[in-house]
Amino acid sequence: MESDAAVVRRVLNGEVEAFATLVERYFDHYVRFAIHLVGNREDAEEVVQDTFLRAYRALGRYEERERFGAWLLRILVNRARTVSAIGRRREKMFPDQVDDTLPEAAEAHPEERAALREEMARALDQLGRDQREAFLLHYVEGLSYEEMAAVTGSGISALKMRVKRSCERLREILQGVNRV
């Protein structure tokens, strides 16, 4: 597979259509991340679209020593912060996230599954922005702390603390839910 850096070079050499390769590689994945970050699908898609447009315009600043996905994620996180800062709503955390991609066990109890998702959405929503961001980057996107530092601009020790506390908080909330 052609590397992201090679695709970027083609775009910079005037092959605009090559950018579609990067869109194809990252768009869906980052919509998922943005949904969890901003809390609703409409804003998430807007954020991701805006992220790609900004990335395209700034492609000349991309340096190949950095993973393209991480560079893109840095723009995305900043856009998501802006959206969150203007106080848009957090709605469905698991919209259209689809039962046909979930394990078979879910099919037997769709109502329970929906209820579980709602509880999880509420739990994630109870985290502060920084903790939610750190938790998602580490456990869902699988970023190392070094990559997270580059994406968020925060120090590694602060990020480790945010992840630790987010886990503690989520466990506390989710176990509380299960006991009811």
Among 7, 43, 74, 133, binds other proteins (CB under 8 A): 74
d(CA 94, CA 124): 11
Q: 172-179 — which CB contacts under 8 Å span 24+ positions? A: 173/122, 173/123, 173/126, 174/119, 174/120, 174/123, 177/119, 177/123
Residue 85 beta carbon to other proteins: minimum distance, rounded to whole angstroms: 13
Nearer to other proteins, 87 or 96 (CB): 96
Q: Considering the complex, what minimum distance in angstroms separates the CB of residue 66 from other proteins?
A: 11
Which structure tokens are listed for 149? 């530092």
Q: Could you count the other beta carbons within 10 Å of the beta carbon of residue 136?
A: 21
40: which 2 tokens?
């609703």
Does 5 bind other proteins (CB under 8 A)? Our answer is no
Of the candidates 136, 57, 148, 145, the one whose C-alpha atom is nearest the C-alpha of residue 93 is 136
Between residue 104 and residue 143, which ones bind other proteins under the rule CB under 8 A? 116-117, 120, 123-124, 136, 139-140
Interacting residues with other proteins (CB under 8 A): 11-12, 14, 16-17, 19-20, 23-24, 27-28, 31-32, 35-36, 45, 49, 52-54, 56-61, 63, 71, 74-75, 78, 94-98, 101-102, 116-117, 120, 123-124, 136, 139-140, 146, 149-150, 153-156, 158, 167, 170-171, 174-175, 177-178
